[in-house]
Amino acid sequence: MNKRATLLVPILIVFGLAIAFSFSSRPEAKSIRSQGPKIGEMAPEISLADANGNIYSLSSLKGKIVLVDFWASWCGPCRKENPNLVRTYEKFHNARFQNAREFTIYSVSLDDNVDKWQNAIQKDDLKWNYHVSDLMRWDSPAAATYGVESIPSNFLLDETGKVIAINLRGKELDNALKSLQ
């Protein structure tokens, strides 16, 4: 090896280690992330508080068709999807289903600022009752349990709490709900 190459190798090693360390220490990077529930599996329990400290458990919604929606106020694609969720909620909330009494949405926010989270709920006119967060952003145990690595992300549950679809948007969500009527 020539003298130039001998000096370059340690520099490249240090540079490579610095890059690897910077990625592993990012809050968004998860070394151990669940694969999340699969279609046909029971949804893992989530019990989180709303902005007023009231705890809402996902299991308390059994008997209803539930869309578990992971989102955040700072997420542009989430905010663009919210009007579709509002429209779907209004269309199906009081609809008759074969085996369920109603449709609702259980929104899990990956925010870390309660004011921004609440302002987004108001601004986007998210009408349903179940808005929860632990304000831990990507460190949220609920997101880890569900294997959420990007948002928006959602899981459609039947009346027993079983996952029947994952990441439905717009007409796909509407069609899934129609098939349950």
**pLDDT of 35 higher than 50:** yes
Tokens 């989270």 map to which residue?
Answer: 117
State the pLDDT at residue 2. Answer: 52
Question: For the segment 90-129, what is each residue's pLDDT rounded down to a tens digit?
Answer: 999 999 999 999 999 999 999 999 999 999 999 999 999 9
pTM of the model: 0.82
Q: What is the mean pLDDT of the chain?
A: 87
- The share of the chain scoring above pLDDT 70, in percent, equals 81
| Interval 165-176 mean pLDDT | 96
Q: What angle do CA 42, 44, 50 make, to 5 degrees?
A: 130
DSSP 139: G
> Mapping DSSP to helix (H, G, I), strand (E, B) and coil, where does residue 107 land?
strand
- With cut-offs at 50, 70 and 90, classify the pLDDT of residue 1: low
